[in-house]
Amino acid sequence: MDAQYNPRTVEEVFRDFKGRRAGLVRALTADVEDFFRQCDPEKENLCLYGFPNEHWEVNLPAEEVPPELPEPALGINFARDGMQEKDWLSMVAVHSDAWLLSVAFYFGARFGFDKNDRKRLFGMINDLPTIFEVVSGKSKAKPTSANNHSNSKSKSSNKTKSSEPRAKQPKPQPQPPVKNEGREEEGGLDDEEGGGGGGGREEEHGETLCGACGESYGADEFWICCDICEKWFHGKCVKITPAKAEHIKQYKCPSCSGGSNGSGGGGGSGNGKRARPS
């Protein structure tokens, strides 16, 4: 609509960007009632234009093909009554942001901006909040101190998470109260598996596949073995937690229990369920 206006320097393109942006922000905030009224879904495809003089306009798209400048999103009026007003305005804001960038970099390409010019232009643009951020209320940037607090909180959270595996590893394998002979057999099995300072267990973990999802053993994962078919399963795959496992005397996987939820049969006097902690 203002095709004859051709900024040629980075500063001129940025001024053009700011003027168009100000007009679009006004349409979606201060003049929102007027903008809403003009976007009648009964009309043809409409576009929202912003101009360097900080004005805005709802109009039909340019007739020439290709247009002199990149065109805004087409048909914004059709979605007006099918969405909540806030969501509709946010959608138009997102498309307006994309259009502003396309116009700015169109000028940059047309007048031969090099890598440094494009980088400088984008840096100047990026210092401004987007139209979407203004319309949605997210442009109220958090103070630096808050960001630092967030970063420190994130670091603290990461430290906590990284320490969790160390806290879980010493936890003994959950063993339910079962008959003595079952505990002795289990003890013998543990001795065989753990006999070389843990090397055998690591090797076994690497070769074991989950009977439910087929994935191999991973560090910091809780596993449980079916006392019937002796297949190993991720606890999460059969919905068994370490706490729940402690109350299961004999674990039966979903297949062996006839399609149950995997909590295992409770009765038998078998060798007791075996579970791997992380």
Mean pLDDT, rounded, for 253-262:
66
Co-location of 131 and 213 in the same domain: no
The string of pLDDT tens digits covering residues 183-224 is 444 444 444 444 444 444 444 445 678 877 777 766 677 888
> What's the average model confidence in pLDDT over 91-116?
95
Q: What Rg, from alpha-carbon coordinates, does the chain have? A: 32
- Quick check: helix, strand or coil at residue 162? helix
Q: Which of 136, 162, 192 is the last residue of a domain?
A: 136
Q: For residue 54, tell me if it sits in a domain.
A: yes
Mean of the per-residue pLDDT values of the chain: 74
Judge whether 83 lies within some domain: yes
Helix (H) or strand (E) holding 206, with range, is: helix 199-207
Average pLDDT over residues 80-97: 95
Separation CA 272–CA 178 (nearest Å): 6
Tally of domains within the chain? 2
108-154: per-residue pLDDT in tens? 999 899 999 999 999 999 999 999 999 998 866 444 444 444 454 44
Q: Give bridge partners of residue 223 from the DSSP assignment.
A: 234, 276
> Is 202 a member of any domain?
no
Question: Which residues are registered as beta bridge partners of 143?
Answer: none
Using DSSP's 3-state secondary structure scheme, residue 48 falls into strand
pLDDT at 27 over 80: yes
- Higher-pLDDT residue of 5 and 270 is 5
Q: Is residue 152, in this structure, part of any structural domain at all?
A: no
Last residue of a domain, one of 74, 102, 136: 136
| Residue 155 covered by a domain | no
Assigned domain for 114 exists? yes
Hey, is 106 helix, strand or coil? helix
**In-domain check, residue 147:** no
Containing structural domain, residue 246: 209-260+272-277
Asked whether residue 185 is assigned to any structural domain, the reply reads: no
Q: Which among 91, 114, 136 is the end of a domain?
A: 136
Q: Are 7 and 13 in contact (CB under 8 A)?
A: yes
- If one counts every other C-beta atom within 10 angstroms of the C-beta of residue 171, the result is 11
Supply the pLDDT for residue 276. 57
Three-state secondary structure call for residue 210: coil
Q: Out of 81-85, 177-181, 193-197, 241-245, pick the least confident.
A: 177-181
Kindly state the percentage of the chain with pLDDT values over 90.
Answer: 42
* Residue 37 confidence (pLDDT): 95
- Mean pLDDT confidence for 47-65: 93
Find the range with the poorest average confidence among 75-84, 156-165, 256-265: 156-165
Span of 39-43, 131-135, 160-164, 257-261 with lowest mean pLDDT? 160-164
Q: Please tell me the distance from the alpha carbon of residue 126 to that of residue 111, in angstroms, as a whole number.
A: 21
